[in-house]
A and B are shown apart, each in its own frame.
Chain A
Amino acid sequence: MTTAGLRLTGVSKRFGGSHALDNVDFTAMAGEVHALLGQNGAGKSTLVKILTGVYVPEPGARLELWGQQVPFPLVAAHKHGIAVIHQDLGLVEQMTVVENMGITAAYGTRLLAPIAVRRERQRCVALLRDMHVDIDPDTPVSLLNPAERAALAIARAKRLLEDHSDSFVFVLDEPTAYLDAEASSRVLALMRTVADSGSAVVFVSHRLQEVAAIADRISVLRDGIVVDTFRSSGDQSGRIILAMLGRAMERFYPTRVDGPRAELVLRVSELVGRRVNGVSFDAGPGEILGFAGLTGMGQEEIPYLLSGAMRAHSGRATLGSSDLLSLPIRDLIELGVCLVPGNRQRDGLWPLGTARENVTLPEIATTLAFRKVRVGRERQVASSLLAEFGVRPCAPEQKAASFSGGNQQKMVLAKWMRMHPRLLLLDEPTQGVDAGAKFEVLQMLSGAAFKGATVVVASGDYEQLAHICHRVLVLRFGKIVTQLTNQGLTEAAIARSAQGA
Chain B
Amino acid sequence: MSTDTASAAGEAAQLEHLTVPAGRRRGALMAGVEQYGLVVICLIGFGVFSLLLPDTFPTVGNVKAMIESQAVIVPLAIAVTLPLRVGDFDLSIAGLMVAAGALLAQLTTHGVGLGEAMAAVFGLSLAVGTINGLLVVKVGIDSFITTLGTMTLLGGLAYAFTNSNVITGLPSDVLTLARQNILGFPSIVWVGWVLVAAAWYVYEHTPFGRSLLFIGGSREAARLAGLNVDRLRISAFVVCSVISGATGVFFAGSVGQLDPSVASQFLLQPFAGVFLGATTIVVGRFNALGTLVALYLLVIGVTGLQLYGAQPWVSDVFNGAALVAAVAFAKLAARANAQRR
Which A residues contact B (CB, under 8 angstroms)?
Answer: 15-18, 20, 40-41, 43, 45-46, 49, 86-88, 307, 309, 328-330, 332-333, 339, 341, 345-353, 357, 361-373, 375, 392-393, 395, 398-399, 401-405, 407-408, 415, 432
Contact B3 A17 (CB under 8 A): no
State the CA gap A370–B239 with chains docked (Å): 15
Chain A residues closer than 8 Å to B228, beta-carbon distance? 328, 330
Please name all residues of chain A whose beta carbon is closer than 8 Å to the beta carbon of B320 when the two chains form the complex. Answer: none
Chain A residue numbers with a CB within 8 Å of B9 are: 399, 401-402
Query: B211-235, CB under 8 A of A: which get 1 and which 0?
Result: 1011001101111111110000000
- Some 17 contacts from A to B, beta carbons below 8 A apart, are A15-B12, A40-B10, A45-B4, A45-B8, A329-B223, A345-B3, A347-B218, A347-B221, A350-B218, A353-B217, A363-B207, A364-B227, A365-B211, A370-B207, A373-B207, A392-B17, A402-B13
Q: Indicate which residue in A307, A346, A375 contacts B220 across the interface (CB closer than 8 Å).
A: A346
* Given known A346-B218, A353-B214, A371-B207, contact A366–B12 (CB-CB < 8 A): no
CB–CB B217/A366 < 8 A:
no
Taking the closest CB of chain B, its distance from the CB of A398, in whole angstroms, is 7
Please pick, from B3, B5, B8, B224, the residue contacting A329 in the complex, using a CB distance under 8 A.
Answer: B224
Nearest Cβ on chain A to B231's Cβ, whole angstroms: 11
Contact residues in B for A49 (Cβ distance below 8 Å): 8
In the complex, the answer to whether A365 meets B3 with C-beta atoms within 8 Å is no
**Smallest Cβ-Cβ distance to B227: which chain A residue:** A365
How many positions in chain B have a CB within 8 Å of any CB in the partner chain? 45
The CA of A365 and the CA of B221, in the complex, are separated in Å by: 12
Stretch at the interface among B18-26, B125-133, B249-257: B18-26
Nearest to A374 among chain B residues (CB) is: B205
Contact A351 B15 (CB under 8 A): no
Excluding A88-B3, A332-B226, 4 further A-B contacts by CB distance (< 8 Å) are: A330-B226, A341-B224, A353-B214, A370-B206
A364 touches B218 (CB 8 A): no
Q: Is B225 within 8 A of A333, CB to CB?
A: yes
Please, how many angstroms separate the alpha-carbon atoms of A366 and B227 in the complex? 8
Question: Complex: how many Å from CA A352 to CA B19?
Answer: 22
Q: Are B210's CB and A364's CB within 8 A?
A: yes
- A16 with B19: CB separation less than 8 A: yes
Is B341's CB within 8 Å of the partner chain A? yes
Cβ of B340 within 8 Å of any chain A Cβ, yes or no, is yes
B4 close to A309 (CB less than 8 A): no
Which among B207, B223, B224 is the interface contact of A367 at CB below 8 angstroms? B207
Given contacts A87-B3, A346-B218, contact A16 B341 (CB under 8 A): yes
Query: Across chains A and B, which 3 residue pairs bring their CB atoms closest together, nearest first?
Result: A41-B14, A330-B226, A404-B10
Given contacts A16-B340, A369-B208, contact A349 B14 (CB under 8 A): no
